[in-house]
Amino acid sequence: MRFVIYSLAFDAPVHFGTAAQGGKLEQAGMQYPADSLFSALCTELAAEGALADLARLRDGVASGQLLFSDLLPWHVVEGEMAYYLPRPVLQLVPRRKQQPLAYRETCVQATARKRAKKLKYLRASKLADYLQTMQEGARWEEDTPEFGAQMLAERVNCRGEEPLPYFVGAFSFDREAGLYLLAGMEREEDQDWLEELLRWLGCLGIGGKRSSGYGKFHLAEDALALDEFGLYADDAAIYRMLQDKSAPWQMALSPLLPEREEIPAVKQGSYALRHVGSFIASAAHAEKKRGVYLVESGSCFHERLAGQVASLGTSDGHEVLRYGKGLYVGVRI
């Protein structure tokens, strides 16, 4: 399988809501999971009537020939593209006891470790160093940069008898930051095809409040096919971890919806869950779709689980699918 990075640069703020943030209109973040991206592509292709492309996308992911990561952050650091991965969901216990420290130093180290545990993302080339530092009980000195800033915009609802104000939360990326998609594909021709789909989707936008212009993006650079040499330090590190199938832990880069027979292996791992369940909107009516629990990206297992694409119902004659296929990097501790 070949792996390709598509770097997205946003031309407008984004409104990505999550259940962890309560799903409120005034709250938004920068996280956009693989299942949301897959749903956005399917929805827009169906609306466009591009049924051949929709079938190609659906069949590709269902068969495991086309895999998506979450949209993960990138940032330009010292003139080169730095790619970030989720912090592994692992309980890291120091391997050896340290010598007794002075009270002040103990407090400093405890504060540093607590701050490190709150990190959501780590540079791919620094991930191994982070895990080693945590196991040694030392301080992790490197902070994740700010990829942008949250903002709150005031809007006015004029549909009632009198105008009423409301607020919309959004995230605005820095000029030298954005999100990237890591895609795995069996067929070389899918690289250019997926790039075209992303360019088209960027003109439409992703996330909420697209009628206000939110969520539009373009590709910051041409698609980057990964290999052992790498163009930057981080994409080379990602490639090595993608190939490391013998590592004791395999970290998911996308939400996983395990098959029934894979559930025992999930229970042996270290994971976090996210409930997905809302309504299917159509021109005629809104229908509640079946809810599912997804294993979040960053979760770690002892093997690479395939996962599945689940059917949650139908809308306007089209099957409503939820992406839950696994894409992994090997993690050694």
Q: Name residues whose C-beta falls within 8 Å of residue 151's C-beta, 6 or more positions apart in sequence.
A: 13, 169, 170, 171, 172
Q: What is the mean pLDDT of residues 191-209?
A: 94
Specify the length of the chain in residues.
333
Q: What is the mean pLDDT of residues 303-320?
A: 81
CA–CA separation, 217 and 59 (whole Å):
26
pLDDT above 90 coverage of the chain, percent = 59
pLDDT tens digits for range 38-61: 999 999 999 999 999 999 999 999
* CA-derived radius of gyration, the chain: 21
Residue 3 phi, psi dihedral angles, 5° rounding: -125, 135
Strand-pairing partners, residue 8, are 179, 219
Taken in order 74, 79, 80, 84, the sign of the CA dihedral is negative
CB atoms inside a 10 Å sphere around CB 21: 14
| Neighbour-count burial for 209-238, b at 16+ CB within 10 Å, e otherwise | bbeeebbbbebbeebbebeeebebbbbbbb
Q: What is the mean pLDDT of the chain?
A: 86
pLDDT greater than 90 at residue 188: yes
The parent domain of residue 291 ranges over: 2-331
Q: What is the mean pLDDT of residues 149-153?
A: 84
CA–CA separation, 250 and 313 (whole Å):
31
Strand 273-276 to 249-252 pairing: unpaired
Which carries the bigger pLDDT value, residue 15 or residue 253? 253
Task: For 162-176, give the DSSP string.
Answer: S-EEEEEEEEEE-TT
Write down the pLDDT at residue 211: 84
Look at the block and give the residue holding tokens 């040694």: 136
Residue 158: pLDDT band by 50, 70, 90 thresholds? Answer: confident
Residue 283: pLDDT band by 50, 70, 90 thresholds? Answer: very low
Number of domains in the chain: 1
CB atoms inside a 10 Å sphere around CB 5: 24
Q: What is the mean pLDDT of residues 236-255?
A: 96
